[in-house]
Structure 1
Amino acid sequence: MILSLFDQFLSPSFLGVPLILLALILPWLMYPIINKHWLNNRLQSLQSWFMMMFAKQLMSPLNYGGHKWSLILTSLMLYIMTINLIGLLPYTFTPTTQLSMNLGLAVPFWLATVLIGLRNQPTATFGHLLPEGTPSLLIPALIIIETISLFIRPLALGVRLTANLTAGHLLIQLISTAVLVLMPMMPALSLLTMIVLLLLTLLEIAVAMIQAYVFVLLLSLYLQENI
C-alpha cells in the first residue's frame, strides 16, 4: 500500500536485498543475443535497422574521431529507453527516477568528453571558456560563468531526466487515484478522467523515448565540441 505519492520512487527490496539491481539488469535480457544464423528474425532485423538509423543520424555531425562512440551511445540510448518504458508497467520500479543513478550515467560520459578535448585539442577546449572579441573588463567574469556552465552540464543532464520521469509518474498516480475515487460516486466523470489517463500514458511513453534520445543527443553535442 502506497502511503505517499513519493513512495513509488523508493527502491523496493525483498528479504533486505534492493531490487534496483534486478531492474538495472533486466533491460539487457530483453534484447536477443547475436547468433551465427545467416538470416535474422523479424525482431532482430527491426532492431538492427533502428540502431543503424539512429547511429547514422547521431554520428553524421561528428567527424571520424567521434564515430568510435557510436556503439556506446547507441547502447546507452537503448538502455535508458528500455528502463523508462519498463517503469511504466504496473508493479515495476523505474531506476531513472533516481537522481543518483542519472548522475552516475551523466558525470562519467561528460567527463570523458572533456578529457578527450583536453588531450586532443587543449587550446580549443580552453578557448570555449572565453568567446572571441570579449572586452578586457568582462574576461574574468565570462571565464567564471563559462566554467560554471561547463561543470553544470552533467547536473543538467541528470536533473532533466529525473524531473521529466518523476513528474509524469506523479501525474499518472494522481489521475489514477482520482479515477478510483470518482468511480462509485460519478461514473461518467470517472470515465472521462480515465480517457485523460490513457492519453497521459501515451504521452509518458513518448516522453520515455524522447528523454533517452535527448540524453544521448546532448552527450554527442558535448563530444562534438571536444573532437
Structure 2
Amino acid sequence: MMMSFFDQFASPSFLGVPLIAIAIALPWVLFPTPPSRWLNNRLITLQTWFINRFTNQLLLPLNVGGHKWALLFASLMVFLITINMLGLLPYTFTPTTQLSLNMGLAVPLWLATVIIGMRNQPTVALGHLLPEGTPIPLIPVLIIIETISLFIRPLALGVRLTANLTAGHLLIQLIATAVFVLLPMMPTVAILTGAVLFLLTLLEVAVAMIQAYVFVLLLSLYLQENV
C-alpha cells in the first residue's frame, strides 16, 4: 500500500535489482525497425514522417556544422517522449521524474556544446559572456552573471523536466484520490471531479510531449550559439 503520494516517484526494485534500467530500455523495444521493403506499413510511415518533420524544424535555425547532431537530437526526442508517455500508464514508472537521470542527460550534452564552441570558435564563445556595448564599470559584474547563467543551464534543463512531470503526476494522484473518497458520499461531485481528472490526464499527455520537445529545443539553442 502506498504510504505517501511521493512513493510513486521512488525507483522500484525487484529482488534487489532496480527496475529503472528496464524502464529506460523499454522504449527502444516498442519502436518498430524499418524493414528492407520498398513500402512500409502505416505505423512506420507515420513514425518516419514525424521524426523527419521534427528534425527539419529543429535544425532549421542551425548552421551546417550543427546538422551533425540531427541523429542525436531525434533519438533523444523520441526517447524522452516515449518514457514520459509510458509513465502515464498504470503500474509503470517514469524515469524522468528522477533528477539524477535528467541531469545525467543534460550535463554531458550541455558540456559538449560548450566544448565545441571553445574548440571551434573560442573568441565567439567567450564573447557571449559580455554583451556588446556594456559600460566599462559593469563589465566585471556582467561577466560573473553570464558565467553563472552559463553553468546554471544544465540544472535548469534537468529541474524543468523533473518538476513538470512530478507536478503533473502528483496532481493526477491527488484528484484521483479525491474521486474515490467522494464517490460514496457525493456521486455528482465525484463524477464532475472525474471529468476534471480526464481533462487533466489529456493535459499531462501534452505536457509529456511538450517537455521532451522543450528539452531538445533548448539543447539545440545552446548548440546554435557555439557552431
TM-score of the superposition, structure 1-length normalised? 0.99
**Cross-structure match for 2:112:** 112
Q: Quote the Cα distance in structure 2 between the aligned partners of 1:143 and 1:63.
A: 26
Q: Which amino acid aligns with 1:68?
A: K
Q: Quote the Cα distance in structure 1 between the aligned partners of 2:141 and 2:48.
A: 48
1:36 paired to 2:36: yes
**Cross-structure match for 2:212:** 212
Alpha-carbon distance, 1:36 to partner: 1.3
Q: Quote the Cα distance in structure 2 between the aligned partners of 1:13 and 1:132.
A: 53
Q: Which runs of 5+ in 1 are unaligned?
A: none
Is 2:81–2:212's contact at 8 Å kept on the other side of the alignment?
yes
Could you say what secondary structure the match of 1:39 adopts?
coil
Could you say what secondary structure the match of 2:133 adopts?
coil
Q: Which amino acid aligns with 1:101?
A: L
Alpha-carbon distance, 1:58 to partner: 0.4
**Cross-structure match for 2:53:** 53
Q: Quote the Cα distance in structure 1 between the aligned partners of 2:166 and 2:159.
A: 10
Q: Quote the Cα distance in structure 2 between the aligned partners of 1:102 and 1:12.
A: 17
Is 2:34–2:40's contact at 8 Å kept on the other side of the alignment?
no
Alpha-carbon distance, 1:134 to partner: 1.1
- RMSD of aligned residue pairs (Cα, Å): 0.6
Q: Quote the Cα distance in structure 2 between the aligned partners of 1:205 and 1:149.
A: 31
- How much identity, in percent, do the aligned residues show? 74
Matches within 5 A, 1:69-88: 69-88=69-88
Moved over 4 A (4+): none
Alpha-carbon distance, 1:34 to partner: 3.1
Q: Quote the Cα distance in structure 2 between the aligned partners of 1:138 and 1:17.
A: 54
Alpha-carbon distance, 1:39 to partner: 1.2
Q: Quote the Cα distance in structure 2 between the aligned partners of 1:16 and 1:186.
A: 43
**Cross-structure match for 2:225:** 225
1:2 paired to 2:2: yes
Q: Quote the Cα distance in structure 2 between the aligned partners of 1:77 and 1:51.
A: 9
Q: Which runs of 5+ in 2 are unaligned?
A: none
Alpha-carbon distance, 1:35 to partner: 2.1
Q: Deviations over 1:163-211 (max 9, x none)?
A: 0000000000000000000111111110000000000000000000000
Could you say what secondary structure the match of 1:90 adopts?
coil
Alpha-carbon distance, 1:107 to partner: 0.3
Q: Quote the Cα distance in structure 1 between the aligned partners of 2:57 and 2:36.
A: 28
**Cross-structure match for 1:24:** 24
**Cross-structure match for 1:200:** 200
Alpha-carbon distance, 1:76 to partner: 0.1
Q: Quote the Cα distance in structure 2 between the aligned partners of 1:70 and 1:4.
A: 41
Q: Quote the Cα distance in structure 1 between the aligned partners of 2:29 and 2:114.
A: 32
Q: Which amino acid aligns with 2:181?
A: V
Could you say what secondary structure the match of 1:200 adopts?
helix
Q: Quote the Cα distance in structure 2 between the aligned partners of 1:202 and 1:26.
A: 23
Could you say what secondary structure the match of 1:152 adopts?
helix
